[in-house]
């Protein structure tokens, strides 16, 4: 059977210290933790000593750190000065990635929504991503762009458009069915085939459309249909059925990580435990029926 690894997203545990978040992930049976690059967990300003302490804690718990989930970038709509500052923050995070033995670092190219973007948005994002890619390559790291609503890369087609302009294999994509559900683009077999070799990492979360937001776990988002409202759900309780995606990943012999990005309005440990159990069950079921 092929190997798949599960990471907890530390962003779902922001009420915890990074040490507590790591201990929780290990206790629940995760293989690793994807660290959200914002305080109190990690930032470009985090000291080397503290970063080394994180790696020591992770080693003691037997946790890998596959990705640092950076929030820097947003080049397409920023000023040149802001882009330079974002680039410098990225370089600082690259050093953290090396000390934490993380293979990849997430960047955001910026917005607006792909259906509103102009050519110059893509060209500007590509220019700065090429600079970042050159630096990442020197460090032996990869850059990941998350397919994300309200961004230039909110569909497989728009993501591949930007990658074509960057033209550097150092840069790959994070498949995120939850984000793609918000956008209204397909997130099953066709998306895996379309992304092909560029699919390097997978985020898993569930949600559903609702009439209005305002309650815990709800949010609103601009889509091609206008302003829409969503409720974040535990896996299997919303409208983002990942089973077809998992089957497609298995057929493509995907051997990477699944990061559970759980933001449902439940106690963090409870929601992570639930989502991990469901994800493992769906993955096992897909493996058992793979040759049917």
Give 10-residue mean pLDDT values along the chain (292 residues): 86 97 98 97 97 98 98 97 98 98 98 97 98 97 97 98 98 98 97 98 98 95 96 97 96 96 94 97 86 59
- The answer, yes or no, to whether the previous bond of 40 is cis (omega within 30 of 0) is yes
Helices (H), 175-288: 177-183, 189-195, 243-251, 268-288
Residue 204 in contact with residue 261, Cβ under 8 Å?
yes
pTM attached to this predicted model: 0.96
Predicted confidence (pLDDT) per residue in 125-168, tens digit: 999 999 999 999 999 999 999 999 999 999 999 999 999 999 99
> What is residue 291's predicted lDDT score, i.e. its pLDDT?
60
Residue with tokens 């897909």: 286
> What is residue 292's predicted lDDT score, i.e. its pLDDT?
58
> What is residue 24's predicted lDDT score, i.e. its pLDDT?
98
Written as one string, the DSSP assignment of 147-163 is --TTSTTSSHHHHHHHH
Rg (CA), the chain: 18
What's the full length of the chain, in residues?
Answer: 292
Residue 230 sits at φ, ψ, to 5 deg, of: -140, 155
CA pair distance 240, 104, nearest whole angstrom:
26
Token pair belonging to 69: 């989930």
> What is residue 289's predicted lDDT score, i.e. its pLDDT?
74
Strand order in the sheet with 218-223: 206-210, 226-233, 218-223
């Amino acid at each position: 059977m092929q190997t798949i690894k599960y990471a907890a997203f530390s962003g779902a545990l922001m009420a915890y210290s990074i040490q507590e978040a790591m201990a929780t992930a290990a206790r629940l049976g995760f293989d690793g933790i994807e660290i959200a690059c914002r305080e109190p967990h990690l930032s470009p300003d985090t000291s080397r000593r503290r970063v080394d302490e994180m790696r020591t804690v992770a080693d003691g718990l037997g946790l890998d750190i596959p990705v640092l989930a950076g929030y820097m970038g947003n080049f397409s709509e920023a000023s040149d000065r802001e882009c330079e500052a974002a680039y410098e923050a990225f370089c600082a995070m690259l050093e953290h990635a090396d000390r934490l033995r993380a293979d990849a670092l997430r960047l955001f190219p910026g917005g607006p929504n792909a259906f509103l973007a102009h050519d110059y948005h893509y060209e500007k994002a590509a220019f700065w991503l090429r600079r970042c890619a050159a630096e990442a390559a020197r460090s032996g790291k990869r850059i990941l762009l998350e397919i994300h609503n309200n961004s230039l890369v909110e569909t497989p087609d728009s993501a591949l458009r930007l990658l074509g302009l960057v033209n550097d294999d150092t840069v790959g994509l994070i498949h995120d069915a939850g984000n793609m559900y918000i956008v209204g683009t397909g997130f099953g077999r066709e998306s895996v085939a379309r992304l092909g070799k560029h699919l390097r990492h997978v985020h898993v979360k569930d949600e559903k459309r609702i009439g209005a937001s305002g309650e815990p776990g709800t949010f609103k988002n601009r889509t091609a249909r206008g302003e829409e409202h969503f409720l974040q759900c535990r896996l299997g309780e919303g409208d983002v059925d990942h089973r077809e995606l998992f089957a497609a990943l298995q057929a493509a012999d995907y051997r990477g990580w699944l990061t559970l990005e759980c933001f449902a309005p439940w106690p963090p440990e409870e929601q992570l435990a639930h989502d991990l159990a469901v994800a493992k069950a769906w993955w096992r079921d897909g493996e058992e029926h793979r040759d049917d």
